[in-house]
């Protein structure tokens, strides 16, 4: 039997040291695996980054925006594309992990010089070094101690990364909010062509006022939402701007301040059973307004002060007929009004001085992004006012007057009187047109009436912005879109980097451990290495002894072995039966170099 072993190993010769470098350079598959893995992972990173910087969406209004057909297809089939990327990335990571398993397998021999393990434990160890998850768990439980623990930790880390890379892919391909810059066309300008007049019957209204009435009616009845209410003071096309995202750019602003006080009324005419008169200071002193005998909310202009070319104070009177207004003063109705079909008992009135100033300011929507230096959505220079105006300071004084007075023109005149409004708590007053009044008591707070002024003037600002649009500008704006985040594409390198660092650690650890264990040749633990390491008297005698047992296979699995220098007629390294102490002679001195 010894002669057969001699024929297998060849003649005895001095031990040669074959270190880690020799082990690696003789295996071109390791270099091929690392290179191929890096290429595949690099492709997934490049593709993901390229996809992330593409345009995923082109709004209809965006200029110079083009959605590539390939990107459009990828967007529509993103789950499929993600699966393909995950597969390619998984292949690349598996190729990168191949050297780690080879090095872990080669670590078996120095480990066996320090601890003895059963043959069953060796099977678990080798199964773990081949990437088997069950084998890894068994190996950690049974032999995860001593020097084997370092190898099992490295193998476990690599194995987990091979399974968990899908989580990284999922995170990278989760759509996030990405800010994109777009350009759009905006027609600036704006204007109003007629002056405000309060007369009976009412005269013609300019187009922006009729449009403002339509806007207000829709908003008050919740048929539509007011666009960008945060910039309602600006004379800009908020309907268009609401689509383009975040931006900042100068525009014409109608700044306002409102102060309100109670107002007693002087009823001047109650002879008609349908309407009555109230004294007013507009359009001149000793004027009067005509109001319907209906228990609703009325509003009219009582006085106008043209302070400057850009500033006008319009005094409005709100009157709740048979109702109440917070901080208002109640005026008793005349006997004829009380005996009328509508039974008018009193009128509660509040006077609000609305101070409007036209000025240049910055329109800011959202974060206010965008690069629009030198541009204006609207300005005092481009705004077109009435050709014939009342203000002694110029046409813009009449525009400021319109901003305060427009609220009195939103409804429809019935019997040639001021429009009426019906009001429900916590809502905008609605235009009232029916001639059937009924027993209704309108109760209004001061804040509700101020909001009424805000929304009405905002409706006029919006409608004026759509008139006389001659200045075509290119507006730059930012919008948040759902797409891949470019910075996340680098996450795909993290598993690969960890695997490579693990392999470097294993290589350094392996070189040190082989040298410390005085094992001269770095080699794998394949079948041929195992056969060469088991051809010795120690194992033969151990196997012969266990073969006679009724449970020979189970006994063999529990047979403990170590790796050391044999002391028979052929001096070489091999697996030794740990139970046969008298046949073992592991040299503790230094090996010949």
| Closest CA relative to residue 300, chosen from 285, 282, 313 | 282
What's the CA angle centered on 474, arms 469 and 477, to 5 degrees?
Answer: 115
How far apart, in whole angstroms, are the C-alpha atoms of residue 300 and residue 75? 57
pLDDT at site 134: 75
Reading the block at residue 149, the tokens are 């623990």
pLDDT at site 588: 33
Nearest-10 crossing angle of helices 119-128, 147-172: 30
pLDDT for residue 332 is more than 90: yes
Q: What mean pLDDT is predicted for residues 434-449?
A: 77
- Beta pairing class for 324-325 and 443-444: parallel
pLDDT for residue 9 is more than 60: no
Those residues whose C-beta lies under 8 Å from the C-beta of residue 194, and which sit 6 or more positions away, are: 204, 205, 206, 386
How far apart, in whole angstroms, are the C-alpha atoms of residue 54 and residue 544? 71
- Confirm if 159 and 133 have CB atoms less than 8 A apart: yes
Report DSSP state, residue 17: P
pLDDT at site 141: 66
| Closest CA relative to residue 444, chosen from 575, 318, 357 | 318
pLDDT for residue 535 is more than 90: no
pLDDT for residue 589 is more than 50: no
Q: What mean pLDDT is predicted for residues 498-526?
A: 81
pLDDT at site 274: 86
pLDDT at site 183: 92
| Closest CA relative to residue 111, chosen from 79, 81, 84, 145 | 145
Reading the block at residue 8, the tokens are 């297998």
SS3 label, residue 479: strand
Q: What is the per-residue pLDDT across 178-198, written as a single tens digit (0 to 9) for each?
A: 989 999 999 888 999 999 999
SS3 label, residue 256: strand
Q: What is the per-residue pLDDT across 231-240, written as a single tens digit (0 to 9) for each?
A: 999 999 999 9
How many Cα neighbours within 13 Å face the side chain of 302? 21
Model confidence at 121, pLDDT cuts 50, 70, 90, reads confident
pLDDT at site 542: 67
Q: How many helices (H) and strands (E) does the chain have?
A: 18, 18
β-sheet bridge partners, residue 180: 479
Q: What is the per-residue pLDDT across 201-225, written as a single tens digit (0 to 9) for each?
A: 888 999 999 999 999 999 999 999 9
pLDDT at site 437: 56
**Can you list the pairs that 31-35 forms with residues at least 24 positions away whose Cβ atoms lie under 8 Å?**
33/95, 33/96, 33/98, 33/99, 34/95, 34/96, 34/99, 34/500
pLDDT for residue 226 is more than 60: yes
Of the listed ranges 444-448, 482-486, 520-524, 548-552, the one predicted with least confidence: 548-552
Percent of the chain, pLDDT > 70? Answer: 81
Whole-number average pLDDT of the chain: 84
| Closest CA relative to residue 506, chosen from 144, 140, 255, 158 | 158
Reading the block at residue 456, the tokens are 């009405």
Of the listed ranges 257-271, 351-365, 485-499, 567-581, the one predicted with least confidence: 567-581
150-154, 259-263, 267-271, 332-336: range with highest mean pLDDT: 259-263
- Confirm if 398 and 390 have CB atoms less than 8 A apart: yes
**Helical residues (DSSP H) of 53-146, grouped into ranges:** 69-76, 78-106, 108-112, 119-128, 133-143
Model confidence at 582, pLDDT cuts 50, 70, 90, reads very low
| Closest CA relative to residue 297, chosen from 313, 320, 280 | 320
How far apart, in whole angstroms, are the C-alpha atoms of residue 16 and residue 172? 50
pLDDT for residue 110 is more than 60: yes
How many Cα neighbours within 13 Å face the side chain of 435? 9
Q: What are phi and psi of 444, to 5 degrees?
A: -125, 145
Please state the pTM of the whole predicted model.
0.72
pLDDT for residue 505 is more than 70: yes
pLDDT for residue 466 is more than 70: yes
**Helical residues (DSSP H) of 26-68, grouped into ranges:** 28-52
- Confirm if 281 and 303 have CB atoms less than 8 A apart: yes
Mark residue 329 as left, alpha or beta (left: phi above 0; alpha: psi -120 to 50; beta: remaining).
Answer: beta
Model confidence at 523, pLDDT cuts 50, 70, 90, reads confident
Q: What mean pLDDT is predicted for residues 332-336?
A: 91
Of the listed ranges 193-197, 269-273, 587-591, the one predicted with least confidence: 587-591
Model confidence at 145, pLDDT cuts 50, 70, 90, reads low
pLDDT at site 531: 65
Of the listed ranges 150-164, 371-385, 510-524, the one predicted with least confidence: 510-524
β-sheet bridge partners, residue 188: 471
SS3 label, residue 174: coil
- Confirm if 161 and 355 have CB atoms less than 8 A apart: no
pLDDT at site 243: 92
Q: What mean pLDDT is predicted for residues 539-558?
A: 65
pLDDT at site 8: 38
- Confirm if 338 and 357 have CB atoms less than 8 A apart: no
| 561: Cα separation from own chain's centroid | 59
More confident residue, 424 or 459: 459
- SS3 letters across 65-80: CCCCHHHHHHHHCHHH
What's the CA angle centered on 150, arms 149 and 154, to 5 degrees?
Answer: 115
Of the listed ranges 4-8, 51-55, 484-488, the one predicted with least confidence: 4-8
pLDDT for residue 170 is more than 50: yes
| Closest CA relative to residue 208, chosen from 192, 190, 189 | 192
Reading the block at residue 484, the tokens are 């891949």
Percent of the chain, pLDDT > 90? Answer: 50
- Confirm if 412 and 304 have CB atoms less than 8 A apart: no
Mark residue 442 as left, alpha or beta (left: phi above 0; alpha: psi -120 to 50; beta: remaining).
Answer: beta
């Amino acid at each position: 039997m010894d002669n057969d072993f001699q024929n297998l190993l060849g003649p005895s010769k001095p031990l040669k040291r074959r270190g880690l470098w020799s082990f690696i350079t003789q295996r071109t598959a390791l270099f091929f695996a690392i290179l191929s893995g890096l290429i595949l992972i690099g492709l997934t990173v490049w593709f993901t980054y390229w996809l992330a910087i593409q345009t995923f969406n082109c709004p209809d209004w965006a200029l110079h925006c083009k959605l590539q057909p390939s990107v459009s297809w990828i967007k529509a089939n993103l789950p499929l594309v993600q699966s393909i990327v995950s597969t390619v990335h998984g292949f690349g990571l598996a190729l990168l992990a191949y050297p780690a398993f080879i090095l872990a397998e080669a670590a078996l021999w120095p480990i066996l010089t320090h601890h003895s393990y059963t043959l069953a434990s060796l099977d678990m160890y080798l199964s773990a070094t081949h990437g088997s998850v069950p084998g890894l768990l068994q190996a950690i439980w049974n032999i995860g101690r001593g020097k084997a623990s370092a190898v099992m930790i490295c193998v476990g880390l690599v194995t987990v990364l091979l399974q968990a890379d899908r989580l990284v892919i999922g995170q990278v391909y989760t759509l996030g909010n990405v800010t994109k810059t777009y350009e759009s066309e905006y027609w600036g300008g704006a204007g109003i062509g007629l002056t405000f007049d309060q007369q009976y019957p009412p005269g013609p209204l300019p187009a922006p006022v009729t449009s403002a009435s339509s806007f207000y009616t829709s908003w008050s009845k919740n048929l539509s939402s007011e666009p960008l209410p945060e910039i309602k003071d600006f004379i800009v096309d908020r309907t268009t701007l609401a689509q383009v995202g975040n931006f900042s750019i100068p525009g014409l602003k109608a700044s306002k301040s409102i102060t309100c006080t109670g107002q007693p009324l002087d009823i001047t005419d109650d002879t008609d059973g349908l309407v009555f008169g109230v004294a007013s200071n507009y359009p001149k002193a000793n004027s009067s307004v005509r109001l319907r005998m209906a228990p609703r909310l009325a509003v009219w202009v009582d006085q106008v002060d043209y302070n400057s070319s850009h500033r006008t104070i319009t005094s409005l009177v709100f009157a709740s007929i048979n109702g109440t207004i917070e901080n208002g003063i109640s005026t008793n109705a005349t006997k004829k009004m009380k005996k009328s079909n509508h039974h008018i008992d009193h009128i509660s009135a509040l006077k609000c001085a609305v101070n409007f100033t036209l000025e240049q300011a910055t329109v800011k929507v959202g974060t206010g992004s965008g690069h629009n230096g030198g541009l204006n959505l609207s300005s005092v220079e481009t705004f077109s006012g009435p050709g014939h105006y009342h203000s002694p300071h110029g046409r813009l004084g009449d525009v400021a007057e319109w901003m305060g007075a427009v609220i009195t023109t939103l409804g429809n005149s019935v019997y040639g009187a001021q429009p009426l409004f019906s009001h429900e708590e916590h809502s905008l007053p609605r235009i009232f047109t029916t001639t059937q009044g009924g027993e209704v008591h309108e109760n209004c707070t001061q804040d509700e009436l101020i909001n009424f002024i805000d929304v009405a003037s905002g409706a006029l600002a919006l409608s004026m912005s759509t008139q006389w649009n001659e200045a075509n500008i290119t507006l730059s704006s930012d919008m948040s879109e759902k797409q891949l985040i470019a910075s996340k594409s680098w996450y795909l390198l993290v598993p690969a980097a960890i695997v490579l660092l693990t392999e470097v650690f294993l290589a350094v650890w392996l070189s040190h451990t082989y040298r410390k264990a005085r094992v001269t040749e770095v080699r794998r633990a394949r079948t041929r290495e195992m056969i060469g390491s088991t051809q010795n008297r120690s194992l033969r005698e151990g196997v012969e002894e266990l073969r006679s047992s009724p449970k020979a296979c189970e006994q063999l699995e529990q047979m403990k072995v170590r790796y050391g220098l044999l002391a028979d007629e052929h001096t070489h390294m091999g697996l030794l039966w740990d139970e046969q102490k008298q046949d073992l002679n592991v040299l503790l001195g230094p090996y010949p170099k």
